[in-house]
Every structure is written in C-alpha cells, then in structure tokens.
C-alpha cells in the first residue's frame, strides 16, 4: 500500500516538520562531509538519513555502516531482516526494479510440474482489451516455446527479461498458433469483469477487481448499478491476482459493501517513534483519492447491495490494499475468504526523492516500509499472509477464464451460498507443483504517489 492523496494531514505535517529539522541539523553539522554529487557516499548518506526518519524498523539501522558501497548493496545491508518490500530504485538501472511481463506484454504465465511429472507453461492471466487477448491468448493457454526456446524454471526469468529488452516476444502455443507480440505500456483497467450468476434461486454478483485505483470509479459504479438492477443478494469479489493500490479506493470498496458510516474508523496506522499512531475514519480516508475521481459518500452508499456477507477469492498474489480490504471489512460484516493464503504485505509506504537536487543523487528514490496497518478493532500484523476460511487451489483443475462458474474458487463460493457445498476435499490439494510464476515480479512492485521529502510535501498513503 502506498501513501497517496491530495490532502496533507496533521499526521504528515508533524512528520514533515521533523524531517525539516533533521535536515537542517545535517546541513549545520561541521563534521558532516560534503560528498561529491552522484558518489556512493552522497547517495548512501542520503538514504541512511531518510531511513532514520521514516523507516518502520528505524531502531534496527546500523549506526556506522560503510557508505562507500554500491547503493543497492548498501540498501540491502541496512534493511531489517523482517523487511521484504522496501526498495531503492534508479530508473536507469533495471536491477533496481522489477520489469514485469504483464505490464509489457499484457499477460502472465506459470511453469508447473503435473502429477505425471510433465512440465508445462500455462497462461495465468490476460489483460482484457490487449493485443494478446485480441490474438486469442487465454487464461489456460499452454505455451510450448518462448522465442523458439522451451521455457523452464531455470530460463524463464531470462527469457522474459530478454523479451522486454528486445520489445518483442514470440509464443508458440499448444494449439499450433504462433503469436508475435510487441511490447507496450499496458495500463490495466482494474475492473476486469463483472457478471451475474444465477444458481439455486440465488442472484449472485461476481466482480474481478485487479487493483485499487481512482480511475476505476466509473467502472465500479457501472458494475454495482448492474448488480442492483439485477437484484443481487450475494457478492463474490475476486482478488486472487490483486497486488493492492490506493488505500482510499480500498475504503471506497469497503463502504460500498458494508453498511458503515462516514465517521466509522477504517484504518489504523502505526509507524516508528517519530510517527504518532493514527486512526482514520472512512470519510477522511476516502477524501485522499486522486483528483478527478473523488467520491462523495452518498455516491458510495448508492452503490450498496442488500448483502449480509461477502465471499472474497484470494491467492498468494493477493497483497497490500487487497489484503487490507479483507481485514478492514471483518469488523463490519461476515467475510468468507476462499482460495489460498495471501502475500502478507501488511504495510504502507511512500516514495522519497529529492526533486530539486536529483542530479546530486543520480535520480535514486526510496520506497521504505513506513507503517503497519490495523483495522478498526486494532487487528493486523499478518506478515506471513491471511489464511483462507476455505482453502482451494486454483491449480487443482485446468485454468479457465475468470468468472466461469466451473472455476474451483467460484464453484466453492456458489456451493456455500446455495447450501450445496462441494463434497470432495480435492480442491484444497493440488498435484501440481508451481516452479515459476511471472506474477512474482508484480509482488515486488510498489507504485506509490511521489512524496518528496523536503522540496514537496509527502502526499497521502498507497498500499501497493
């Protein structure tokens, strides 16, 4: 989750003042060397000073680390052993970030070994409206080769990286087709799919939501309007590949599902000793949505369905704001989580960069983990992920398009809704062993709204 929003709260003003005082002391310290612009020492001393102000695990930072190291090595050496997600990024160094298959070519894949010992490569996700979808690539498609090479757990990462660098990927599919795809900046519409499912007299709304972003406002309103027109009395929310996003949009979704009031507490932030504990209500959180996509609370309540429970489908790529939606809803209505354990990103971050002196720091930026997140009952702390109420492995059967009633996760939810649960427990166990998953790259990506440490005010919070 990243910190985003158009308003700077008192919470962040106090922290900004602390940072300004800290930097003023640095500049007046006669013993602080003035390192050459762009040098390792210049970059690393800035990183260390910033982390001492904002980093959640501030008290674990070494007192006198070797600032002559390569910045990426230095950053790794000072991070807490508990920290899986903080990053130091330089846009001209690919090794500092995670170029992803889906954001360049519009699909993801996994390599697995089935019960017979055969290794296969399967498409796990195709972004709607992209060229791969137009050309016939589907979730469940089997890939025989990538760039004339049989993919394996050993070479898949290199094959993807090379394709991204070359801006082209060539796929040979099991059905015999060959797809030649050019790279492009793929901007996913967070609302992949919505539909109604009718089963045993129940009207069930299904929504596949793949991120929490303000630009999904009108698509979400359209989806919920459709659900209301069709008298939906149950909701299945599919978040199994959702990496998170804007905590304010997570609050919107929670308020559209549960019968909460604007003054009800949605989230609690806990930072280091420099940051006071803050509890934030729905109204305050929702005002932080990016400009142009603001929600009035009345707009959200008009979306509400007549439901008493929600079924949320998860996988090990469900992360950050998506995880917090599950946690944040539990105080307000019954949540039945179906699928697999989530990623365990129970923290928020923001981006730190020096826009005014970028040349002195060679365009580096930091995305440190800053806050632990808790719900209105002060429940949180799930760094190993949220365990499902009902465990179902989507690889227990051949992958089929999202929203299909035969999908094992959806089928399990429908069974619970209709009172006809599946008799077999086989869906919780899979004979498939996943060897490589391109979606793992997305798990490492954080896309917070930029918050400049001194020259610009830190903006809001994004959990991604």
pLDDT tens figures, 114-161: 888 899 999 999 999 999 999 999 999 999 999 999 999 999 999 999
Q: What is the chain's length?
A: 464
Find the helix or strand (DSSP H, E) in which 371 lies: strand 369-374
Q: Is the pLDDT of residue 165 over 70?
A: yes
Distance linking the first and last C-alpha atoms of the chain: 4
- Alpha-helical segments (H) within 55-195: 71-78, 101-105, 131-134, 156-166
Whole-number Å distance between alpha carbons of 293 and 282: 16
406-416, pLDDT tens digit by residue? Answer: 999 999 999 99
Q: 39, 61, 91 — which closes off a domain? A: 91
Q: Is the pLDDT of residue 276 over 50?
A: yes
178 and 244 assigned to the same domain = no
Whole-number Å distance between alpha carbons of 388 and 396: 16
Whole-number Å distance between alpha carbons of 281 and 255: 11
CATH (domain of 161): 2.30.42.10
Does the residue 436 lie in any domain? Answer: no
Average pLDDT estimate for 313-319: 97
313 and 375 assigned to the same domain = yes
206-243, pLDDT tens digit by residue? Answer: 999 999 999 999 999 999 999 999 999 999 999 999 99
pLDDT of residue 26: 53
**Residue 3 in contact with residue 370, Cβ under 8 Å?**
yes
Whole-number Å distance between alpha carbons of 89 and 98: 10
- DSSP line for 138-157: -TTPEEEEETTB---TTTHH
366 and 290 assigned to the same domain = yes
Whole-number Å distance between alpha carbons of 349 and 260: 26
Does the residue 340 lie in any domain? Answer: yes
Does the residue 235 lie in any domain? Answer: yes
Domain membership of residue 270 as a residue range: 191-430
What total number of domains does the chain contain?
Answer: 3
150 and 203 assigned to the same domain = no
Q: Is the pLDDT of residue 423 over 70?
A: no
CATH (domain of 250): 3.90.226.10
Q: Is the pLDDT of residue 425 over 80?
A: no
pLDDT of residue 116: 86
20 and 120 assigned to the same domain = no
20-78, pLDDT tens digit by residue? Answer: 455 545 555 556 788 999 999 999 999 999 999 999 999 999 999 999 999 999 999 99
Q: 38, 62, 91 — which closes off a domain? A: 91
Of the candidates 285, 356, 261, the one whose C-alpha atom is nearest the C-alpha of residue 7 is 285
Does the residue 46 lie in any domain? Answer: yes
Least confident of 10-24, 135-149, 290-304, 388-402: 10-24
Supply the pTM of this predicted model: 0.90
221 and 368 assigned to the same domain = yes
pLDDT of residue 150: 98
Average pLDDT score over the chain: 88
Q: What pLDDT band is residue 170 in, cutting at 50, 70 and 90? A: very high
pLDDT of residue 40: 95
């Amino acid at each position: 989750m990243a910190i985003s929003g158009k308003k700077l709260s008192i919470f962040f003003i106090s922290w900004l003042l602390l940072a300004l005082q800290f930097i003023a002391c640095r500049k007046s310290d006669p013993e602080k060397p003035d390192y050459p612009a762009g040098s390792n020492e210049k970059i690393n001393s800035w990183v260390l000073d910033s982390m001492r102000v904002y980093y959640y695990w501030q008290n674990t930072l070494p007192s006198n680390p070797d600032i002559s190291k390569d910045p990426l090595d230095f950053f790794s050496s000072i991070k807490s052993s508990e920290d899986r997600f903080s990053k130091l990024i330089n846009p001209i160094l690919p090794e500092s970030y995670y170029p992803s298959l889906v954001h360049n070519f519009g699909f993801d894949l996994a390599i697995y070994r089935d019960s017979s010992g055969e290794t296969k490569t399967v498409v796990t996700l195709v972004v709607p409206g992209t060229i791969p979808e137009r050309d016939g690539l589907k979730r469940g498609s089997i890939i025989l080769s990538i760039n004339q090479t049989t993919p394996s757990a050993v070479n898949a990462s290199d094959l993807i990286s090379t394709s991204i660098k070359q801006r082209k990927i060539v796929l040979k599919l099991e059905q015999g087709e060959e797809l030649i795809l050019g790279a492009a900046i793929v901007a996913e519409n967070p609302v992949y799919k919505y539909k109604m499912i009718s089963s045993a007299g129940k009207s069930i709304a299904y929504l596949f939501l793949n991120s929490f972003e303000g630009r999904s406002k009108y698509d979400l309103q359209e989806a919920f309007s459709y659900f209301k027109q069709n008298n939906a009395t149950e909701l299945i929310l599919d978040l199994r590949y959702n990496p998170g996003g804007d905590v304010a949009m997570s609050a919107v979704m929670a308020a559209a599902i549960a019968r909460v009031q604007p003054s009800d507490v949605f989230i609690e932030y806990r930072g280091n000793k420099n940051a006071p504990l803050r509890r934030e209500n729905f109204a305050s959180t929702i005002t932080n949505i990016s400009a142009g996509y603001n929600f009035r609370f009345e707009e959200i309540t008009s979306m509400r369905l007549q439901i008493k429970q929600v079924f949320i489908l998860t996988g090990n790529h469900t992360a950050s704001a998506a995880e917090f939606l599950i946690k944040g809803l539990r105080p307000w209505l019954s949540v039945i989580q179906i699928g697999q354990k989530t990623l365990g990103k129970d923290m928020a971050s923001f981006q730190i960069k020096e826009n005014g002196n970028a040349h002195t720091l060679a365009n580096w930026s930091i995305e440190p983990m800053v806050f632990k997140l808790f719900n209105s009952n002060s429940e949180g702390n799930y760094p190993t992920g949220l365990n499902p109420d009902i465990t179902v492995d989507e690889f227990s059967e051949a992958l089929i398009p999202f929203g299909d009633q035969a999908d094992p996760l959806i089928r399990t939810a429908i069974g619970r809704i209709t009172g006809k649960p599946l008799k077999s427990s086989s869906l919780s166990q899979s004979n498939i062993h996943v060897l490589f998953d391109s979606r793992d790259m997305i798990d490492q990506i954080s896309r917070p709204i930029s918050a400049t440490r001194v020259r610009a005010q830190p903006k809001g919070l994004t959990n991604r």
